[in-house]
Structure 1
Amino acid sequence: MVASISARKSVGAAVSYFKHMAQDEYYTGKGEAEAEADGEWDGRGAERLALEGPVSKADFEAALNGIDPKTGERLTQIGKSHAPGWDMTFSAPKSVSVMWALSPPADRKTIEGAHRQAVHAATNHLEDHHALTRRGKGGAIREPVAGLTIARFHHHTSRDLDPQLHTHAFIFNTAPRRDGTWGSLVSRDLYRAQKEAGAHYRQHLANTLEREGHAVERYGTSFRLRAIPRDIERAFSKRRQAIEQAAETYGYRTPKGMELAALRTRQAKRPKERAALFQAWQAEARTLGFDLARARQQQAHTGAQTQHVPTRTHQAPTRSPARILPSAQQLISAIAMASRASSGMQSVRFNLRQKAEGRDQDREH
């Protein structure tokens, strides 16, 4: 699922969430301009509070409690029966994350910028069309908000250290009304708009990447980048493979069951040095016999990549045959070569167990 939403049921839980988001990115090091994991403010509600740039713990906690972080003025009452906010997570299609991981730094920056713009477009759509605030006794009166207060946290990997661009957009349960007062949000409307927000995110991201010269294959409300074969997507989806294996083992079939499978397979985070991760991903692609530059050149040569393609088709993408994976000895050799290339690189585990073609793997973080 590209867009998911979950409530933080208490201020204490939301403060712990902030620490997790701001300090616990899956890799360490900020040598490149796009390596930001400390969050940023967004939304017209944040603008009204003069909140911009990085998200500090003090400002985040004040907003959770319904207090203006700048003036200390109380904006709303956050009762025990009201969640202080919701985490809406937007995750890029796996082919986009793999393209980002295997591309040169300048192209990575462009892809990540497109992802962030798409997240902003989706939350702006929520702000304009699906966000209602309450007023009156028992919150009986509902009206459109004048804006949302959002803290965005950008992450880049799954727990299994595969590339996975995703953004956590924390929506505070404190929103400005059009008369200048503030009130709490109607959560039901946010949940109802989840799928629409995800579709809006994907459409914006696909359009932007297409303008940047990427060949896009659309199906339904989703898409993938044609330059990344499906078996390569699958190889870089170890988190999803682990969830599917757990679901098969324990007989989970329902959405709730899949959540339990995700919890059963959830590993402790293992921070890695950023440069080592990119080297590991590129070494894994070479081991699989995949060269991104060659793939894009072949597409351009055969005319597969064009500037304009139909905006939507109604057929699911065709399935690709599974690749034959290299032997264990070949993997060991590839890891050794990657390790010699970077003295700071830690041991990297390549779990390349692969099934036949599957769906886009979006929720891995």
Structure 2
Amino acid sequence: MRTTAVLSRDPAAAFSIEDVEIDEPRGGEILVRIAAAGICHTDLVTRRAGAADRPILLGHEGAGVVAAVGPEVRAVRPGDHVVLTFRHCGECATCVDGRPAYCQRSVALNQFGRRAHEGARVSREGVPVLDGFFGQSSFAGYALTTEDNTIVVDPALDLAVAAPFGCGFQTGAGAVLNVLRPTAGAWLAVFGAGAVGMAALLAARSVEGVRVVVVETSAARRELALELGAEAALDPAEGPTVPRLRALTGGGVTHAIDTTGVPAVLGDAVAALATGATVVAVGLGAGTPPVDVGDIVLRGKTIRGCLEGDSVPSTFLPHLLGLYAEGRFPVDRLIGRYPHTEVDAALADQRAGRVVKPVLTW
């Protein structure tokens, strides 16, 4: 199948729009005609760390329509509308325990995982393209996926809206609904109001009586957070956030989520917690956060890591999409649509804060 793709040939250069060949589905593979794919921070980080001597095909928030399936596929049919998410083996101890985001084969399956059959999945003029990112590499008009990362959805859904549910929206919302589980009267602090942080805000607002305060450097995103229901939006440039959070909440937040991956920010999140409260860290960063161990112990605080919202995508994504259909998870305000040929404009708008979640369309 010949189609166009957004390729990275050099981490220091711009993406390029090129024609590629996608192989037919074999064994348990599924060929999806991609309608839309969200751009996630993980794509950009992986691109910078990727090889510079060959084309790399990224994309892990794809959505589209099934075009064909391999002979071993049972649960997905041609014509199904689908959202693509992360891969998991379904057989290891963590998968069996209902925690597929921590699959023991996660790296092998999601970081440009190898094909089980001979022949390249994607090639460019006969040269294999590095693909298989999150089992999809969906920055192309077609993608080869598998049943474990392909979720069938309502065909009435707008696929450009549905695409980011596969990673970014799932991560933020899951951290709140699956891990923190705030109830009426709770105060949630969201550090970083990108796509993940905004999804956390919207998820918290879907629970009656939960109040949210956002800590964010971008004035445009602080304003949007207030429009989406945040009680307050703090600019860290205006002074230390911890005393302001304690004053606002009457002693400390009951729940917090750090989406930034910045050690100092996670340290602030811990310091702002009330007694017995929990902060969930979802941002991938490096370094050691400055935390007071005595404060953690004496006040019973918890720091908890979280991947992909601790979700089971086959059940959690339909739940989130149901909230969206009911008007209780209005992510439309976060999304900007761009033809895939305008990927540079999409990235520029994201960097400038003009859009929270850019989505490429085919």
The answer to whether TM tops 0.5 is no
Q: Which has the higher contact order (CA 8 A, sep 6+)?
A: 1
**Could you say which structure has the higher helix fraction?**
1
Q: TM-score, normalised by structure 1?
A: 0.24
